[in-house]
């Protein structure tokens, strides 16, 4: 059986015009403390 790991993530957004309420997702940060993993 495979081990299970918990990962946390955050989406990186660029907001060029706040007043127009528009944004672009430009990346993701992925982290696991147990595996000592950060991308």
Average of per-residue pLDDT values in the chain: 94
pLDDT at 23: 96
- The structure tokens listed for 5 are 């790991």
pLDDT of residue 3: 87
39, 21 contact by CB (below 8 A): no
Instruction: Tell me what pLDDT residue 2 has.
Output: 86
Give 14-35 pLDDT, tens digit per residue. Answer: 999 999 999 999 999 999 999 9
Full-model pTM: 0.68
Which stretches of 1-39 are assigned E, i.e. beta strand? 8-14, 24-32, 37-38
């Amino acid at each position: 059986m495979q081990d299970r790991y918990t990962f946390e993530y955050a989406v990186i957004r660029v907001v060029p015009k706040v007043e127009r309420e528009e944004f672009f997702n430009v990346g993701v940060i992925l982290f696991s403390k147990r595996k000592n993993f950060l991308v």
